[in-house]
Amino acid sequence: MITTNPFDDDKLREECGIFGVSGAETASAMVALGLHALQHRGQEAAGITSWDGHDFHTHRAMGHVAGNFDRDEVIRGLPGDTACGHVRYSTTGETSLRNVQPLYAELNSGGFAVAHNGNISNAMKVRRELIRRGSIFQSTSDTEVIIHLVATSNYRTLLDKFIDALKQIEGAYSLIVMTPEGMIACRDPLGIRPLVMGKLGDSIIFASETVALDVVGADYVRSIDPGELVIVTKDGEMRSIRPFGEVHPRPCIFEHVYFSRPDSIIDNSSVYSVRKAIGAQLAIENPVEADYVIPVPDSGVPAAIGYAQESGIPFELGIIRSHYIGRTFIQPGDKVRHLGVKLKHNANRALIQGKRIVLIDDSIVRGTTSLKIVQMMREAGAAEVHMRIASPPTKHSCFYGVDTPERTKLLAHKLDIGGMQDFIHADSLAFISIDGLYKALGEAKRADIRPQYCDACFTGDYPTKLTDQDEAVVENQFELLAERVS
């Protein structure tokens, strides 16, 4: 039976990746390349929609970009000089083709395609109201509420309808929208999810990360600002509007810790350099005597380099990762299932036998992978195993486009650090402090009022309303009360 790798379940899942091109002869081919570079942000499904000046064309498929969009006949079926694409890992809505983006609909004003990275935290409430008013939904994705809000808006122009829709939703969104009038790229007023703009000749490009610009040979221009809409008309004219007034940005801090590729630039900072700085700060806050600093590949590598440089302990590759294991593999039984981590990671026994080692990882979610990794080190003969984590304890769920387990399944919610250390059987366990993380990002510390980043997964300080979540809690309390009364 093919099933989900249980050890991938011990990482915070990447959200989604979006990429759009306006004014390029080979727009859909360029989008396919861009999506390849963003594949780490979503591996369940991918889609591309193009506009040829008369008609919209869409191809969506389950699985990776490779194998679905590297065939000539697929790209030929997506003609036009404007296109946008999406790679998906579902955070809201079931895993099925009807939820694969870009989502497309024929509105009174013409075709409307949207690619969304993030999560709308009042989508269920808005959806119920729209259905009550007669809307018919074709997917279970939160993104579709945007289309219906645009379609039912009483404003006259399409742009005003779109702004009206945005003002009715809460949560996190980076969007690329295509209409017969052109392309719109925007971020929510807090800028929780990333979006950047680039240029290649006369073509304007939007992407979740700068690495996607690099792959297509485009120059990075700037980030789309929180609350900003950038409109590119079909004639290539570009303008920017900011309909939300004054904003107080709270971009996702976990982009710097784990989600973004290390060769990307976020908010004018190199992700790789930031992760090294996090590792250095981790070493300052949590030193330990050891023989080697060893990363848990691949996400722990830059932080481990920073830790090693700051501490003076040699950096070594004590765990070797197989790059040929995807997110699925065959599990014929529980015994083999528990050996699954060795398909992905294996100890470099000759190096670590008899040594005191410091393992560096980006985070601990459920703790199952950390437990297996520590056990693997001990079986390979490590004298001591110390674990250092390049983020604070993950105690809270994310509702902004990151698929985190329920809060009750987060190890840091259930146990204090001593309890977590005992659970993973490490000789010591320590995390970077929240102020230390901010320091590594160039801030003096975390601001008490209006923090500089969204760090809700660590602090529980959610920067927006959580309408659907709050309503679900109330409904659950009523159900529990009804059960007691009965």
3-state secondary structure string, 109-123?
CEEEEEEEEEEECCH
Output the CA–CA distances (angstroms, integers) from residue 437 to 115, 176, 293, 398, 403, in the order listed.
Answer: 31, 31, 20, 18, 22
CB atoms within 10 A of CB 76: 11
Identify the helix (H) or strand (E) that includes residue 428. Answer: strand 428-431
Distance in angstroms (rounded) separating the CA atoms of residues 334 and 340: 10
Q: Note whether 352 and 380 are within 8 A (CB).
A: yes
Question: What is the C-alpha to C-alpha distance for residues 222 and 364, in angstroms, rounded to an integer?
Answer: 33
Paired strand residues for 197 = 206, 222
Tell me: cis bond preceding 102? Omega within 30 of 0 counts.
yes
354 conformational bin, left if phi > 0, alpha if psi -120 to 50, beta if neither: left
Question: Which residues are part of the catalytic machinery?
Answer: 16
CA proximity to 22, closest of 236, 196, 241: 236
Q: Which of 60, 63, 65, 100 lies closest to 77, judged by CA? A: 60
What is the edge-to-edge ordering of all strands in the sheet holding 356-361?
Answer: 292-295, 356-361, 384-389, 428-431
Contacts of 332 (CB under 8 A, 6+ apart): 1
**Burial of residue 450, with CB atoms counted within 10 A of its CB: 0-12 exposed, 13-18 middle, 19 or more buried:** exposed
Residue with the two structure tokens 């309890």: 419
Cα–Cα nearest to 11, from 325, 234, 300? 300
What's the rounded Cα separation, in Å, for the pair 10 and 180? Answer: 43
